[in-house]
Amino acid sequence: MTIPATTDILISEVGPRDGLQSVKATMATVDKCRWIDSLVAAGLREIEVASFVPAHLLPQMADAAEVVRHALQHSGVTVMALVPNLRGAEAALRAGAHKLTMPVSASAAHSMANVRKSPEAMVEEVRAVLALRDAIAPGVRVEAGVSTAFGCTLQGQVPEDDVVRLAELLAEAGADEVGLSDTTGMGNPAQTSRLFKRLFSTIGERTGAAHMHNTRGLGLANCLAAYEAGVRTFDSSLGGLGGCPYAPGASGNVVTEDLVFMFEAMGVRTGIDLDRLMAARAPLQAGLPGEPLYGMTPEAGLPKGWAPQPSAAQG
């Protein structure tokens, strides 16, 4: 993971992909582009803008290549795309994405529902994507996200040993980063701390992002636990938009506005302007009229006289 020298952590905004693919309405391409522009203006430096999947499965992502090409006009921003397989990866690489993220579920039941492959087969798919990347776009980073790492609405409990072993296999396959995703919002802070510490001890610097959900109200607490365990990249979605269409009951990404407020109030620099970040809700609401948005910070506003604290981040 690459964190700018002027910040302590990297907030990776996933709303334009994870958020939009989870709502019934399809946002117009022009509205997606305006929303992405507003996120960049707020200081976001990594944005997951699209998912390269068949349009008949996720019509919300039918314009993925066009959206990637628009986002590439912004300098200093890592344009990321989700790809479930080799075909999607090739399309994303041809479009010019800077970074690919691949979902690899620790739950066999969720893996079959989400990508129609076993976790073991997905490790091989990651290996094939890495070979393709090396052949046509060697500068592109490939992240493997271990989904359902904290539990699965289809399978139930997911053994922690299975999660760590899968992460180890993905690192051995050559993934640049291996993160953990609380796809179903079943995680708790003690579990989050335990799993990420195990990950750091097993795969070291390849340990990637914490992708937490707020389904049961523990999103921020889990992010803080991940931070204290050593994680420095966090996925979140403006307005808490999103979830997983193939995991029943999995709603509620961590709200970017609340996450940024928490870290900045702690003196952990994000490089994001909170006022501009909250203003980025306007183009989102314009593009998805009537879609509910969440967040305690936008609702309450910033405290009187509030200012980010001086950097006090742990190394």
Q: Report the CATH number at residue 92.
A: 3.20.20.70
Average pLDDT over all residues of the chain:
93
Residues of the chain with pLDDT under 70: 1-5, 243-251, 312-315
Asked if residue 311 belongs to a domain, the reply is: no
pTM across the whole model: 0.94
Provide the token pair at 133: 């990347």
Q: CB of 143 within 8 A of CB of 99?
A: yes
How far apart are alpha carbons 256 and 248 in whole angstroms?
23
**Phi, psi angles (nearest 5°) of residue 96:** 105, 15
Catalytic residue among 33, 152, 223, 244, which? 244
Neighbouring CB atoms inside 10 A of 286's CB total: 13
pLDDT tens per residue, range 78-136: 999 999 999 999 999 999 999 999 999 998 888 887 778 888 999 999 999 999 999 99
Q: CB of 132 within 8 A of CB of 93?
A: yes
Active site residue 152: no
Asked if residue 209 belongs to a domain, the reply is: yes
- Structural domain boundaries, residue 136: 10-300
Asked if residue 179 belongs to a domain, the reply is: yes
Asked if residue 285 belongs to a domain, the reply is: yes
Asked if residue 228 belongs to a domain, the reply is: yes
What per-residue confidence (pLDDT) applies to 250? 46
Asked if residue 310 belongs to a domain, the reply is: no
Place of tokens 């921003």: 77
Asked if residue 313 belongs to a domain, the reply is: no
Asked if residue 63 belongs to a domain, the reply is: yes
Q: CB of 100 within 8 A of CB of 64?
A: no
What per-residue confidence (pLDDT) applies to 246? 47
Domain count within the chain:
1
